């Protein structure tokens, strides 16, 4: 059985790509997403193009802009190279000024497989964007 650790931390304020910045525009909002190896005080410490199974966390950071002043239901699915969902988290974001930042951690475990991983972002039940990153076995 896989031990799954996925968290989302939310702070107020359909494109597909491989391990680069993802920009999506839908329903009058924009999303800019990229991977980082960690955060300090809620800010990404870097931008990464490749992740390692030996990392403490693989983090998808999303900067939402031009959002309406309403609740958005979000879901992130982390999919391994075999198409298996290895992580999932649902939450609601409530932008107070049209801008919102979210980040989603995944802690790799020994059962995880190297290859191209996909983070699928759904907003209000619709696929908003996907971001992909190659994950390799060792650093």
Strand ranges, E, within 66-114: 72-79, 85-93, 100-106
Class of 6-136 per CATH? mainly beta
Q: Which residue ranges make up each domain of the chain? A: 6-136
Alpha helices in 65-128 (DSSP H): none
Res. 25: pLDDT tops 80: no
Task: Tell me the pLDDT tens digit for each residue of 71-122.
Answer: 999 999 999 999 999 999 888 988 888 889 899 889 999 899 999 999 999 9
Adjacency order of strands within the sheet including 58-65: 6-12, 100-106, 58-65, 29-36, 22-26
- Dihedral of CA atoms 49, 51, 55, 60 in degrees, nearest 10, equals 70
3-state secondary structure of 116: strand
DSSP letter for 43, please: E
Write out pLDDT tens, residues 90-102: 889 888 888 898 9
Give the model's confidence band at 20: pLDDT under 50 very low, under 70 low, under 90 confident, else very high.
low
Give this prediction's pTM: 0.79
């Amino acid at each position: 059985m896989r031990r799954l650790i996925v968290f989302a931390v939310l702070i107020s304020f359909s494109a597909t790509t491989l391990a680069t910045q993802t920009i999506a525009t839908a329903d009058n909002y924009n999303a800019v997403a990229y991977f980082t190896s960690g955060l300090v005080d809620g800010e990404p410490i870097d931008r990464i193009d490749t992740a390692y199974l030996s990392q403490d966390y693989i983090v998808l950071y999303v900067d939402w802009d031009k959002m309406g002043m309403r609740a958005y239901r979000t879901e992130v699915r982390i999919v391994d190279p075999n198409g298996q969902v290895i992580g999932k988290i649902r939450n609601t974001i409530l932008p107070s000024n049209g801008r919102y930042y979210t980040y989603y951690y995944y802690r790799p475990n020994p059962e995880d497989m190297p290859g191209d991983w996909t983070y699928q972002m759904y907003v209000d039940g619709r696929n908003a964007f996907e971001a992909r990153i190659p994950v390799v076995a060792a650093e």
